[in-house]
Amino acid sequence: MIIIILFGPPGAGKGTQAKILIEKHDIIQISTGDMLREEVNSGSSLGKTAKSIMDKGDLISDDIIMSIIEERIKKPDCQKGFILDGFPRTLNQAIALDYLVENKTLNIDQIIEIKVDEELLFERIEQRKTEGDLVRNDDNTEVLKNRILIYKNDTMPVLEYYRDLKRLKTVDGMQSIERVSEDIKKLF
């Protein structure tokens, strides 16, 4: 069982690195963003609540996120382990995760930050758009600014929390996909 947490601001390449890691370690990826987008697409009541919040780039409440995570990690496909992508995003979520993991006598193996300059994030999102990749409702410049601001305000304290506990490893996300992936590989 291996548990990895991947941090990075929007556009840092978390999703790309998560895909590489799942192949290597034969584990699955749990992306709260993807799970919420599925809820939105399915038209569920949770999806309806989530949509307007996500379209603004704001955060879904910690209670909702925790119940989604708790349900998800119970599933059999999580038995070999998982990568958390986009979670925990607030200090409350991080503390709730510690509690959850302790109760299940699980261990978080790697907590990795992919660090990227703000300017590059905007460039990458603009490029994503021109390349005609699936454009998300929350990928326009205004909303992206809000997502980056929220990352700074709500998620940076989570990184500090893990850094203080000497549990955080940081890799330079300004390099090529291959280099970033090499640097992550060295942590194991």
Residues in the chain: 188
CB of 156 to ligand ADP, least distance (A): 14
CA distance 183 to 82: 19
Interactions with ligand ADP, residue window 94-133 (CB under 6 A): none
Tokens 């390099």: give the residue.
175
- Of 118 and 188, CB closest to ligand ADP: 118
DSSP 152: I
Which of the stretches 31-39, 95-103, 119-127, 176-184 binds ligand ADP when contact is defined by CB under 6 A?
31-39
Active site annotation includes 104? no
Q: Should residue 65 be labelled a site residue for ligand ADP when binding is judged by CB under 6 A? A: yes
Cite the DSSP H helix spans in the chain.
Answer: 14-25, 32-42, 45-56, 62-73, 91-103, 118-130, 141-150, 156-164, 177-185
- Of 113 and 138, CB closest to ligand ADP: 138
Interface residue with ligand ADP among 10, 97, 116, 183 (CB under 6 A) is 10
CA distance 30 to 18: 9
Per CB under 6 A, residues contacting ligand ADP are 10, 32-33, 36, 53-54, 57-60, 65, 86-87, 89, 93, 138, 147
